[in-house]
Structure 1
Amino acid sequence: MFNLKRILAAGVLSVAAVSTASANQVVLDSFDYPFGGAANTPFNLSLDLAADGTGSFAQDREVSPDGIVDATLLINQDNNPVGNASARAGGGSLFLAMDPGVNASLGLFYSNPAALPAALGGDLSVLEDLTNDGASDSFYFDVSSIDLSFSLELFVISNLADLANPGFFNSLYQNGTGYDTAFLRGLNGVSYTTINSTTEVGLGDPAETITASFNSFNTDTTAANFEQVTGIFALITSSSGATDLAIDEVGVVPEPATLALFGLGLLGLGVARRRKI
């Protein structure tokens, strides 16, 4: 496990807000997987720019065996620095760590295979309702540790046609360049928001909870239907270099009376545990 400083993030962009963790939350993923290899861990990525990179670019990508989680860690910066970056999920946290002078990003694409067209083994009747019939209205992110700033771009997708296109991911992710979020924003059925953490707060304090209301999401074409979600894309970046970040939980609030969520993977649903507060 990384030796991360217990310094917490509190600065949040626009309509996102920071609040104290509440029992009135549903944990979509606690990252409570045992370490121990691909069979038990959604991903365990690492990069050495000098050894793995071509020029100033290096990447490491893993797709979970069930196809739900597609994770790519990359370094893309000028001056061809020498350094390392790593990302892993397990033991109750999502970790992202960078050496001094290294600016890395972690892209996480989650899809629900059951919601894809029948030709791809899916069932069009299975679509995820993140609002739980109107009972839930926001995401939360439990940030337990950070020592420098980071940015989280979050996309909610309810576009079956584009998501099922075999060329979709190749359009979203350009090898040698990175993620093309402008491509994603230009699709129908996509809504997005950005959360920026710019403030270092406390040392050894309990986790801060960053919340982002569904109403805070923007759209460039037609909005995503939060009641019929087929995928989620998250892009975590840092332009500061040497950032160490840990996120303990992701969920939606408030807690509904009943919970029947299918499993979007890391930011989705399926291996949830309820935190006792």
Structure 2
Amino acid sequence: MLLFKCGFLLIPLTIVISVCSQVTNLPKSLDAVLAVLYLASVAIAGKIMYDRFQHINILGSLTTNPGVTCFSNKIASVSACSMFLGFLVHLFLFLFKVDKFSIAAINIFVCAFGTLYMWMQGIVTLYATTLFYDKNLTALRQCLSNVSCLVLVTMATFGTIASILPTNPNGATVAYICLIIASLCSYSVAIMFSIFILSYEKDYKYFAEGLPSDLLLDDGCEYNDAIVCEADGLFRAQELRSHRLLIQGTNNTRKHS
């Protein structure tokens, strides 16, 4: 799909250029290019997550626990909105070259909501095995959400230490090292988040091709049977009406002849 092809190209490229800008002193003219890449990556990620929300919102009633699935999907959508707002603030601070402590603080905010999003979507994936089952995909998303939580704790710890250290030369050196560690953690969470949302490509294929009935589990059989019976009743009623109209039309034709 074109959306995921663009995502597989732009999102890793944005992360690589962003890391290079932190490691080396790139020309200031590349800041505008990096900002455009940031916005393009955010637009692609937002479209993917919005479609994911729509898919689960429509098909969540077919999962083993519709209440938990829908609630987790709503929490994930709120987390995504908060994360995008935080990212816009991060982009503003980046363009105006605000101090690194402020950028580190907003990075923790963005990564926290990104981790919460992965946790919620991990729960959705666990219950969405009613729609399709992929053991490797489920394990991958649970692993990413768990590891990102540990990295987030590490990032918050070193970011907090860097902010409370004294401004003397020794304290400034330790604070700089802590900021580097926190920055590495933020990029690690960004990479895991990118892998997580790009793994939706397989979900897209299932939803686009339709869900085969033999992949549905027995937990939703009563619900599905009721819908099938109701639909069957409607089709039979329509069939009887068509037969009656056909018979009436035939009788009228015979009378005229």
Q: TM-score normalized by structure 1?
A: 0.24
Flag the structure with higher strand content: 1
- Whichever structure has more helix as a proportion of its residues is 2
Taking structure 2 as the reference length, what is the TM-score of the superposition? 0.25
